[in-house]
Structure 1
Amino acid sequence: MSLQQESLVLFIAIITVFIAATSTTARAQKLNSSNCKSSCGTGKHANVVPYPFGFSNGCPIILKCNQTAGDVKIGEFQVQNITPNGILINIPAECDRSIEKIRPLFGQNFRPSSNNSFLLQNCNSSYKFSSGCVISTRSLRRDLNLTNCVDKNHDLNCYSPVPGDSDTFDYQSMISTQCKSVFSSLVFGWESSFVSFQIERVKLEWWHSGDCADNRCSNNATCTQVKLRDRNFGFRCHCTDGFAGDGFADGNGCRRGKSTWRYICNLF
C-alpha cells in the first residue's frame, strides 16, 4: 500500500471515529432530556416545566407535582414562575409558621437569592439584625387580611443576608438568627430605573451543576455563572434573541423563534 493510500485510510478512520463519537454524544443528550418527566397534571390542569426542571429521577432539578391538580411545589410552597433568571415562590403571610417549613427552599440546585428579605417572628432578643428593620404586624393586617394575627402582638424582624461574594444564602444563616417562625418574605429588584418590590414572594437562584467552562450550553445560547458559597459555581443557559428553547445541550437546545422559556402556574 502506498503512502498516499495509507494516509487516505487513516483519514477515513479518523472521520469514522469522530462521527461515531458525535452520534453517541447526541444520543446521550437526547436520552438525558427524554428521561426527565417535564409534565405535571393532565388535561387542562397540565403544566410543563423546561429542562433541567422536572418531576422524575432523570431530571437535574426535581420539583414536587400534584398530578391531580397540576400543582407544582417546592416543599409546601407553590411555584409561581420559572424563568432563565430564577424561580419565584409564593409564600403567603402566616403567623407562627415554623422556620423548618422553609428548609426545602434551600435545595441542592436552588436557594433563596440574596435579593430576598425574610420576615421573621419569635426571635431571640439577643440577636442583632444587621438591617435594623422592624415592622409592626398591625401595619400589615389590612393589606394581607391577617385575621389570625389580630390578637397577636408579635413584631416582624427583616432578615437579609450580609453582602458577600455569593448570589445566595444558606439555611444555616437563617438558623443563626434564633428565630422560630417565618411570617413571609419580600423580594427586591430593579426594573429599568425603578426598584421593584413584592411581598409574599421568595426568589430562588437556580443552577445546573458545573460552570460555564464546561461548555454545556447549546449553540445560540449564552451561559450565566451563579456564584455559590466556598468559591463554587453553578451555571444557567439562556437562548439568545431570536431563538427559543431551554438553551441546554443535554436538553432541547435553541431553535429559531420567539423565546417562551417561562413557566407560569395556572393558579396565578
Structure 2
Amino acid sequence: MFPPLLILFILCNTLHLSTCHSQSPPPPSHCNETCGELSIPFPFFLSNSSCAASPSTTAAFPLTCSNSTTLFLTINSDRYRVLQFFPDGVLVDFPASTCRQYYNLNAFPFAGNRYFGISEENVVGLYDCDDSSLCKPGCETTDYPGCDGDSNGSPACCYPLSDRSSWDLGDGFSVFSKFGCRGFTCWVVPRGAGVGKRGVKLEWALPGNSSSRLCASDADTVNATTVQSGLRCECRDGFVGDGYAGGSGCLKTCVKDGREARGGDCLTRRRSGKMVSILAGVLGPIFVVATLTALLCLLKRPTNGGTYEPNKDKLQNTLSFRKPWTTRSFTYRELEEATKCFDDGQKLTDATSSGEIYAGLLADGSPVAVHKVECRDQRDLSQVLSRIEVISAVFHRNMARIIGCCIDCGYTPLVVYEFPGNGTVEEHLRRREAGGLDWYQRLSIAAETASVLAFLQQEVSPPIFHHNLRSACLFLDDCHSVRVAGFRLHIGSEIGGGGIVHRSDVYEFGLLLLEMVAGTKSRELPAAALQRSGKVEEIVDPNLYYHEQTAFRREQIEAVADLATRCWLFGREGKIGMAEVAKELVHIAKESGDGGSRRGPALEETFSNSSLLQMISMSPDSIYVH
C-alpha cells in the first residue's frame, strides 16, 4: 500500500511534468536532409549524401532528389515519386509520368517485400468491373481529389483495403482483375479524415530479426501491419524524435520559462513560491480521487499468495524469440489502464481454468484483448511463455495476432491479442434484437474457424491445438470475419494425456457448431440434439426463422447440426479430424440454392492452398513463408 505522503509526492511531480507541451514542433531529423519542401525522416536518406555512409542506414531506403525539388523512391527497379512522409509510411505516385483518371491494374506492380507493404489505409476506386459485389458503401463520406487537386467526387465503385474480404496482406492491385475490373486509382484516407490524398501509401518497417538495437531509449516497439515480421519504433508520451537508435532517438520535451525545452533542460526542476501555492490549491480533491483509484487498482492487482517471485532473467530469455515476428513487452500499468483496472465490464470471457479475457484500449487508441493467465509456479510460467512464442510465430488471416505480453505481475502473465472491435461471436449470438447473426454469417464464421484450426493442426510443425475453443474466444471484425484467440496456454493434466489433448478441439468445435445452430450453449444441448435427431427445428435458434427459410437453407442447417453431432460423438475418439470437418463445412458453405456463392469459394481456396499462402515453417533454425 502506498503511504499518503508518497502519493502526494508522486502527484506533485506528475503535475509539474504535465506542463510539457502536448503538441511539439517537428522532431529533429536524422541527417537534416531535405528535397524541395520535404524533410527526409529516418530510415530514408539521399543516396548521394554523406548520410548514406552512416552505419545505421539500410539499403532499402535510398532516395534520389531530382532538380532539388522532386524526390523519388526506387523499389524493384520501379521509380515512384514521393508525395508525403507519414510516421508509418510514405505516399507515392504511380510510376506513370502523367496523371490519369484511372490506371491499368498492372500500372502499380509492387505488392510488398520485407521493408514495404501496401497500407490498409488506401481506398481503391475501381472501374468497369464485371462483378460489383466487391464494391463497398461509404465512399460518399469522403472527398477524393482528382489530378488537379480539386474534388473528384466519389468513385462509382470503391473498396477500402482495410475491408480485406477481397484483398489481403501481400496482394497487389492486380488481384481485382478476377472481378473483371479493368482500371483503378487510389487514395489514402487517414483514420478520422474526411479528405483523401491521391496516391498509394506504402507502409514501411525494419526487419524484426535484426541483431542490432532498433529502438532508442524511451521508445516502444510497434508491429507493422502489412510488412511481415516488420517493426517500427515510437517515442513514448512526453518525448519527441523518430524513436530509433540509429536516428534522432527520443528527447524529453516540455515548456520552461514560456519556451520549449528538450533533453536535459527538462530535468531541471525549479519551483517558485507561486507554483507551490497553485499546486497546494488544487491537490486536495486530486489527492482524494487518486487515493481511491490507487486503492481500487491495487486491490485488483494480482498477487503471488506469499510465494517467491519468478526469475525475471529466465523469463526475458524465454521471450527473446528467434522468430522474426517480435512481440511487444507491455508494462502492467499500461494494461491496467487499458482495461480500466480489469473492470468486470471489460470482460469478454468469464473466469475458467484457461484464464479471463478483457477488452482494452491502449494509449494510442488501438483496441486489444488482454488474456490473464494464472500459473502455479515457474514451470507453468515457462510453459506459457514457450507456447506464446510458438503461436505468435504463425500468421493466418483468421487468427488474432498476439502483439505482446506482460510478465510484471508474478505468476499471472498477460497476453495481448489484436482485437478487431466488433465483439465476440458469443455476444452476437446472444442478441435478440435486430443486428444478430443470420444463417449465412454463422456458417461463414464456422467455416473460417474450422479452416484455421485445420491449418494449425495439419500444416504447422509441430501442430498447434487450441484446447479452449468457445464462442467468446472468436472475435469478429466489421465484416463478421472471424479472428480466433484465447488459446489455452497452460496445458495441464486436467485436459488429459496422449491423443485426448488434440482431439478435444474437434469435440469443442462440435459444441460450437451446436451453439451456432441453437443460438445458445448449454450442457444439455448435445443430448437434446441427439434426442431430437431428425427434428432439428426443435433446437434451432428462433432468430433464424427456420420455417421461413428456403428448403435448401433448411438442408444446410440440418447438415451443420448433423456434423456438430458427429464432432461431439466421435471427436474425442479420433474418428473424425479437423481437416475433414473443415472440408465438409467449406463444401456446405460454398453450395447455394441459386447456383451462386457469396463467400464459399474463397474459403475453400484459402483452406486448400493454405500450405502455399498461409503456412509458416516452425523450424527452430529458420522461419519463412512458403
**TM, length-normalised to structure 1:** 0.56
3-state DSSP of counterpart to 1:196:
coil
Structure 2 partner of 1:131: 135
Report Cα offsets for 1:225-247 as digits up to 9, x if no partner. 11347xx4211112223333221
Letter in 2 for 1:62: F
| Structure 1 unmatched ranges of 5 or more | 1-35, 147-154, 260-268
Structure 2 partner of 1:184: 186
Structure 2 partner of 1:20: none
Structure with higher strand content: 1
In the alignment, the residues of structure 2 paired with residue 228 and residue 215 of structure 1 have an alpha-carbon distance, to the nearest angstrom, of: 22
3-state DSSP of counterpart to 1:158:
strand
CA shift, 1:82, in A, is 1.8
Structure 2 partner of 1:70: 69
Structure 1 partner of 2:552: none
Q: 1:175 to 1:61 in 2, by over 3 A?
A: farther
3-state DSSP of counterpart to 1:173:
helix
Moved more, 155-164 or 233-242: 155-164
In the alignment, the residues of structure 2 paired with residue 208 and residue 220 of structure 1 have an alpha-carbon distance, to the nearest angstrom, of: 18
Structure ranking higher on relative contact order (CA contacts 8 Å, 6+ apart): 1
Q: Does 1:196 align with 2:194?
A: yes
Identity of aligned residues (%): 21
2:235 to 233, 236, 239: 239
Q: 1:128 to 1:248 in 2, by over 3 A?
A: same
- Within 5 Å, which residues of 2 pair with 1:7-18? none
In the alignment, the residues of structure 1 paired with residue 109 and residue 245 of structure 2 have an alpha-carbon distance, to the nearest angstrom, of: 31
Q: 1:175 to 1:37 in 2, by over 3 A?
A: farther
Letter in 2 for 1:130: L
CA shift, 1:63, in A, is 4.8
Letter in 1 for 2:64: C
Structure 2 partner of 1:206: 204
Structure 2 partner of 1:95: 101
Letter in 2 for 1:103: P
Contact 1:239 1:247 (C-alpha < 8 Å) held by counterparts: yes
Contact 1:37 1:55 (C-alpha < 8 Å) held by counterparts: no
1:54 to 45, 51, 60: 45
3-state DSSP of counterpart to 2:107:
helix
In angstroms, what is the RMSD of aligned CA positions?
A: 4.3
1:39 to 27, 30, 33: 33
Letter in 2 for 1:83: F
Q: 1:213 to 1:134 in 2, by over 3 A?
A: same
Structure with higher helix content: 2
| Structure 2 unmatched ranges of 5 or more | 1-29, 149-154, 255-259, 261-626
In the alignment, the residues of structure 2 paired with residue 40 and residue 177 of structure 1 have an alpha-carbon distance, to the nearest angstrom, of: 42
Report Cα offsets for 1:131-155 as digits up to 9, x if no partner. 34598xxxx99x7478xxxxxxxx7
Q: 1:257 to 1:132 in 2, by over 3 A?
A: closer
Q: 1:48 to 1:200 in 2, by over 3 A?
A: closer
Q: 1:96 to 1:47 in 2, by over 3 A?
A: closer
CA shift, 1:254, in A, is 2.1
Moved more, 69-78 or 219-228: 69-78
Letter in 1 for 2:248: N
Structure 2 partner of 1:158: 158
Q: 1:228 to 1:115 in 2, by over 3 A?
A: closer
In the alignment, the residues of structure 2 paired with residue 55 and residue 255 of structure 1 have an alpha-carbon distance, to the nearest angstrom, of: 25
In the alignment, the residues of structure 1 paired with residue 31 and residue 104 of structure 2 have an alpha-carbon distance, to the nearest angstrom, of: 32
CA shift, 1:217, in A, is 0.7
Contact 1:115 1:187 (C-alpha < 8 Å) held by counterparts: yes
Structure 1 partner of 2:252: 256
Contact 2:169 2:226 (C-alpha < 8 Å) held by counterparts: yes
In the alignment, the residues of structure 2 paired with residue 89 and residue 179 of structure 1 have an alpha-carbon distance, to the nearest angstrom, of: 23
Contact 1:131 1:159 (C-alpha < 8 Å) held by counterparts: yes
Contact 1:121 1:182 (C-alpha < 8 Å) held by counterparts: yes
In the alignment, the residues of structure 2 paired with residue 173 and residue 63 of structure 1 have an alpha-carbon distance, to the nearest angstrom, of: 29
CA shift, 1:221, in A, is 0.9
Structure 2 partner of 1:82: 85
Contact 2:219 2:234 (C-alpha < 8 Å) held by counterparts: yes
In the alignment, the residues of structure 2 paired with residue 104 and residue 121 of structure 1 have an alpha-carbon distance, to the nearest angstrom, of: 20
3-state DSSP of counterpart to 2:244:
coil
Structure 2 partner of 1:151: none
**TM, length-normalised to structure 2:** 0.27
In the alignment, the residues of structure 2 paired with residue 185 and residue 234 of structure 1 have an alpha-carbon distance, to the nearest angstrom, of: 24
Report Cα offsets for 1:26-63 as digits up to 9, x if no partner. xxxxxxxxxx987354xxx3744122122337435425
Contact 1:63 1:72 (C-alpha < 8 Å) held by counterparts: no
Q: How many residues align?
A: 200
In the alignment, the residues of structure 1 paired with residue 178 and residue 112 of structure 2 have an alpha-carbon distance, to the nearest angstrom, of: 15
CA shift, 1:130, in A, is 2.2
